């Protein structure tokens, strides 16, 4: 068990170190700025990250194997842990692959049936409703055509892997196939942890792919522009789920309207 904890802490430390390399600090780095990032990647730091990739792939695979070994040990607990039917929503690529930035929105039901797909980010008000509850400061979003009661949906790692047909990297694709062998969708929240581990593996593979692209060392890292739109909607997939930001501005670029639907409780 101590070795497993060490692997988990080591994977988190690896991610935090990458943030520190890019942003000069681990907490609230200021590397990402409007139009890009504030500094190019140093070649020596690129090599430093790459030198750890094989080790971290092995660690991620070991963590996944440990998790899979426990599925048959705790069937009652898995069945009882927040196991309920909902819709799932995530961004997905044009070929059904995992996508965090450029994909369209897709909804499926608890059995894996497609409810809606190829939904544009800017049209979110036609498919996402927002309900205000008297017992919470948070809004409760839902799939608008189904209404608040039947339209509840989940986002995040479990939703993404329930919806995606593939991840797009070799090792993660293999593990996704095993994940899906347990059924067309996983509704027990216990499987959120399994999905997170597969996404960790995917991220490590994707980091390697990006670092081996020559453009990663380009010094053209920021585009500077003046106000060119008075309204925009942006969506992306964060580790915790789908994020939506909707802004309107005046002619000076000052925000006059903001609506955020974010997976933060």
Range picked from 18-27, 30-39, 82-91 for highest mean pLDDT: 82-91
Q: Bridge-partner residues for 246, per DSSP?
A: 233, 259
Each residue of 94-148: pLDDT tens digit?
999 999 999 999 999 999 999 999 999 999 999 999 999 888 888 899 999 999 9
Each residue of 36-55: pLDDT tens digit?
999 999 999 999 999 999 99
Q: Which two tokens stand for residue 150?
A: 């039947």
Burial pattern 29-41, b for ≥16 Cβ within 10 A else e, equals: eebeeeeeeeeeb
What is the Cα–Cα distance from 155 to 208, expressed in whole angstroms?
A: 26
Query: Which residues are CB-contacts of 251 (< 8 A; sequence separation ≥ 6)?
Result: 227, 230
Domains of the chain, by residue range, sit at 1-83+188-221, 231-261
Relative to beta strand 153-154, strand 87-92 is: parallel
Average pLDDT over residues 159-183: 97
The predicted structure's pLDDT at residue 92: 97
Q: Which class for 64: exposed (0-12), middle (13-18), buried (19 or more C-beta within 10 A)? A: buried
| pLDDT above 70 for 3 | no
């Amino acid at each position: 068990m101590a070795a497993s904890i060490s692997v988990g802490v080591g994977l988190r430390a690896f991610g935090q170190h990458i943030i520190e390399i890019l942003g000069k600090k681990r907490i609230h780095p200021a590397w990402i700025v409007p139009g890009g990032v504030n500094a190019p990647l140093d070649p020596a730091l690129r090599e430093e990250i790459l030198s750890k990739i094989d080790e971290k792939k092995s660690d991620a695979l070991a963590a996944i194997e440990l998790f899979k070994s426990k599925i048959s040990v705790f069937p009652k607990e898995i069945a009882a842990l927040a196991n309920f039917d909902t819709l799932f929503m995530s961004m997905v690529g044009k070929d059904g692959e995992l996508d965090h930035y450029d994909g369209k929105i897709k909804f499926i039901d608890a059995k894996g049936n497609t409810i809606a797909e190829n939904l544009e980010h800017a049209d979110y008000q036609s498919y996402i409703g927002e309900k205000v509850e008297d017992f919470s400061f948070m809004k409760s979003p839902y799939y608008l055509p189904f209404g608040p009661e039947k339209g509840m949906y989940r986002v995040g790692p479990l939703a993404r892997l329930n919806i995606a047909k593939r991840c797009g990297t070799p090792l993660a694709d293999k593990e996704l196939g095993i994940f899906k062998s347990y059924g067309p969708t996983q509704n027990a929240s216990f499987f959120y942890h399994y999905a997170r581990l597969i996404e960790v593996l995917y991220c490590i593979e994707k980091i390697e792919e990006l670092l081996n692209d020559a453009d990663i060392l380009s010094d053209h890292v920021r585009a500077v522009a003046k106000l060119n739109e008075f309204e925009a909607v942006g969506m992306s997939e964060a580790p915790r789920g789908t994020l939506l930001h909707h802004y309107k501005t005046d002619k000076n670029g000052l925000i006059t309207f903001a609506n955020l639907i974010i997976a933060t409780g």
